[in-house]
Amino acid sequence: MSLYARIAQKIERNLAEAAAKAKTQGELDFGELPSFVLEEPRERQHGDLATNLGMVLAKQAKRSPREVAEILIRHLETDNTWIESSEIAGPGFINFRLNPRWLSAVIPEVLREGQAYGRVNLGQGKKVQVEFVSANPTGLLHMGNARGAALGDSLASLLQMAGYEVSREFYINDAGNQIHNFALSLEARYLQLLGQDAPIPEGGYHGEDLLDTVQGLMDRDGDKYLNMDAGLRQEFLVRYALAEKMGQIRETLKDFGVEYDVWFSEQSLHDSGFVRSTMEDMEKKGYIYEKEGALWLKSTLFGDEKDEVVVRSNGIPTYFAADIAYHRNKFERGFDQVINIWGADHHGHVARMKGAMAALGIDPDRLQIILMQLVRLIQNGEVVRMSKRSGQYITLRELMDEVGKDAARFTFILRDPDSAVEFDLDLAKSQSADNPVYYIQYAHARLCSILRQAGDTEAEAEIPAERELELLLDSQEERALLKKMADFPDEISLAARLLEPHRLARYVLDLAGLFHTFYNSHRVLVEEEGLRRARLALIRSTRQVIANVLGILGVSAPERM
């Protein structure tokens, strides 16, 4: 919890006590104390903290909100709260002004904790798994995967910062129908390279990258699969291609700053019989029935729109069946919470997946699914329909080459996953310097530059005493900067609770802005020794917090640029 939150908590308790005291003394009449908020008002002039307690109590107490507020203030204990003044405002808010000296504790706290500043214990060591990207290994990673990668990775880092034990996982869809189509497509490409007229089958993959893949195999083994039995040939091709594609995916994600703890194979669930046994278990519980030769899950019992097929009439389990087994497996591995990041085109699967968990006796609330709207690509002013099957898409690799890892990641993280983003590639290229990420990185580089100017020894100097800081850093710009830094642990808590890393992107943007404003109105390297030391400590703290946030977002914090 942040310094600020601790102060607010104390005042909140005192407010509740004030109400209770007023009640015992017969000044206020009410039953249960209603829930009220004590929060930072948007408007500066409304003080540092404001509460609506007077308003929420007014009805029960049968007095005007302002009267109630007046009574509350009279009974409020303000010792050890930093409260400097309280006033009634507007329809009945009580506004508190704090003595700004509380801010003097921020710098020592930031510098003492360093990289760990911002860490909170919301998670209390609970195990959380974040599964993201999980792209089909039938092609290259595209823009939508890029968004998922940026979001999932920073969410995972955020949760770590919030005290969870986090595991990043990639689910490899290396089984099922699509792999069959993949095999047929590979085979067609292979035969094409050998001069045959082999069309890519319906439902196949038209991506040009498959030509390269097949060429790689050709370079190694020549035409040795040409006269082989088709089934066997397809198997060789797929095995080779899967390994190659997964290697590329791994490599690309790594370059994008994402490293997974676990790569989980769908095929392994079939091989071990776990898919089958999971279906049997659900059948025993009576959630499965047979119709028209297929096995159906009664997912409508759990809020799904219709029942779903889990085993086709040909005896082959569906993707859904494997996915159920997979999620069951996750929980059996001991995760308290499981978070999936899915494209919004899969929203219809949420209810049935949660339903399947319920059918297995797993609390569906332990599975959280973040839906991410798709990225629409604009090129030459037109929407480019991206599709892996058609082979028409911009790859993550190209994106990194064009706009850079930092800018690409930040662009995605800045936005709420629920908003459909339009990505104009031409614009992204031409305006790359306008990406807000540079605004933040520039602030960081500037901070480093000041510290360089000051000389390493001085920059490493011991932290000035709080009393000294509170007397010296008293300008509006300095206080705003300190306050923002003081908020950081709370921002982590909130963002982690809501699973919204984009809040941190907004936060660091604000922080960088406050620094730039400070920089333009005050000089750090002044003659006066005490002030100079105090401001250098402020600079070091700011640099630290910016670096911490960028670290979570997977964006580099350059010392020069």
For RNA, the binding residues in 272-331 under the rule CB under 7 A are 291-294, 305-306, 309, 312-314, 318-320
Structure tokens at 487: 């908020």
Q: Which is nearer to RNA, 250 or 503 (CB)?
A: 503
Residue 111 interacting with RNA (CB under 7 A): no
Structure tokens at 221: 């083994």
Residue 560 interacting with RNA (CB under 7 A): yes
Amino acid 113 reads: E
- Provide the minimum distance between the beta carbon of 501 and RNA in the complex, in angstroms, as a whole number: 11
Q: Which is nearer to RNA, 196 or 431 (CB)?
A: 431
**Do residues 89 and 46 make contact, with C-beta atoms less than 8 angstroms apart?**
yes
What is the distance of C-alpha 204 from the center of its chain?
Answer: 34
| Residue choice 1, 230, 243, 498 for contact with RNA (CB under 7 A) | 498
Angle of helix 476-498 versus helix 106-113 axis, rounded to 10: 50
Q: Which is nearer to RNA, 82 or 320 (CB)?
A: 320
N- to C-terminal Cα separation, the chain: 34
Calculate ∠ Cα 377-378-380, nearest 5°.
Answer: 145
Residue 56 interacting with RNA (CB under 7 A): yes
Q: Which is nearer to RNA, 445 or 471 (CB)?
A: 445
Amino acid 90 reads: G
Structure tokens at 151: 């979001």
Q: Which is nearer to RNA, 216 or 455 (CB)?
A: 455
Q: Which is nearer to RNA, 194 or 294 (CB)?
A: 294
Of the ranges 7-15, 326-334, 345-353, 458-466, which one interacts with RNA (CB under 7 A)? 345-353
Closest CA to 344 of 179, 151, 476: 151
| Residue choice 247, 348, 361, 530 for contact with RNA (CB under 7 A) | 348
Question: In the range 360-419, which residues lie near RNA by CB under 7 A?
Answer: 371, 373-374, 414-416, 418-419
Of the ranges 184-192, 271-279, 464-472, 518-526, which one interacts with RNA (CB under 7 A)? 518-526
| Beta-carbon-side half-sphere exposure of residue 324 (alpha carbons within 13 Å) | 32
Q: Which is nearer to RNA, 253 or 509 (CB)?
A: 509
Kindly state the helix (H) or strand (E) to which residue 381 belongs, with its residue range.
none
Count Cβ atoms below 10 Å from residue 300 Cβ, excluding itself. 15
**Do residues 427 and 493 make contact, with C-beta atoms less than 8 angstroms apart?**
no
Of the ranges 4-12, 143-151, 332-340, 522-530, which one interacts with RNA (CB under 7 A)? 522-530
- Provide the minimum distance between the beta carbon of 299 and RNA in the complex, in angstroms, as a whole number: 12
Of the ranges 103-111, 122-130, 173-181, 234-242, which one interacts with RNA (CB under 7 A)? 173-181
Question: Rounded to whole angstroms, how far apart are CA atoms 139 and 147?
Answer: 17
- Provide the minimum distance between the beta carbon of 169 and RNA in the complex, in angstroms, as a whole number: 17
